[in-house]
C-alpha cells in the first residue's frame, strides 16, 4: 500500500515475507515480518527491507487506524514497537482530518542517514482514507497469520 504524504511525498509499505519462514514454533522468530519501504520524501528517496514488525504489531497498527477513522479514542497518540525502526504518531487530530507522521529510524532510514536528523513523512487523511489504510494493511496481513501465540 502507499501512504500519500504532503508535498507529494509517498511511502510504499509492503510485507514481503516472514523473516524466518521455516521457523513455525517460536513465538517471536515465527512472527517477525520483513517490511519493505520505498520512501520518497523531502529528506531524499530510499528503499529498505528489514524485519521491523511482528504480526501482532501490524494488527495493532490496523486497529489504531480503524479507531482513528471512526473518531474513537486510541490508547496512545503514537505507536512504537520492539524494533524501533518505524513509529506512527498522530500529530493533529481534527474530527474531519488527521495528520499522521510516519517516522523512520535505524534500519528504516536511508543508508547514509545523519544520526542528528529525524526522517519522517506527514500524511493528512480524512476518515475515508484512514479506513482505506486499515483495509489495505489488513489485506497485507492476510498472507501472514500469527503462527505461534505466546
- Tell me the average pLDDT across 108-119: 95
- Tell me the average pLDDT across 2-20: 98
Query: Which listed CATH number (1.10.3470, 2.60.40, 3.40.800, 2.30.31) goes with 2-142?
Result: 2.30.31
Which grid cell sits at 105?
A: 529510524
**Which position has the higher pLDDT, 28 or 53?**
53
Which grid cell sits at 36?
A: 519493505
pLDDT band at 66 (very low <50, low <70, confident <90, very high): very high
Distance CA 83, CA 149 (A): 19
Amino acid at each position: 500500500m502507499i501512504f500519500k504524504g504532503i508535498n507529494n511525498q509517498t511511502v510504499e509499505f509492503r510485507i514481503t515475507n516472514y523473516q524466518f519462514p521455516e521457523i513455525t514454533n517460536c513465538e517471536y522468530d515465527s512472527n517477525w515480518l520483513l517490511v519493505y519501504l520505498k520512501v520518497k520524501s523531502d529528506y531524499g528517496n530510499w528503499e529498505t527491507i528489514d524485519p521491523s514488525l511482528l504480526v501482532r504489531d501490524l494488527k495493532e497498527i490496523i486497529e489504531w487506524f480503524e479507531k482513528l477513522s471512526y473518531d474513537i479514542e486510541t490508547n496512545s497518540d503514537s505507536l512504537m514497537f520492539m524494533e524501533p525502526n518505524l513509529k506512527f504518531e498522530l500529530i493533529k487530530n481534527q474530527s474531519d482530518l488527521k495528520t499522521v507522521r510516519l517516522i523512520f529510524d535505524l534500519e528504516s532510514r536511508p543508508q547514509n542517514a545523519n544520526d542528528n536528523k529525524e526522517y519522517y513523512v506527514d500524511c493528512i487523511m480524512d476518515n475515508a482514507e484512514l479506513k482505506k489504510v486499515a483495509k489495505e494493511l489488513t489485506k497485507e496481513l492476510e498472507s501472514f497469520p500469527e503462527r505461534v501465540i505466546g
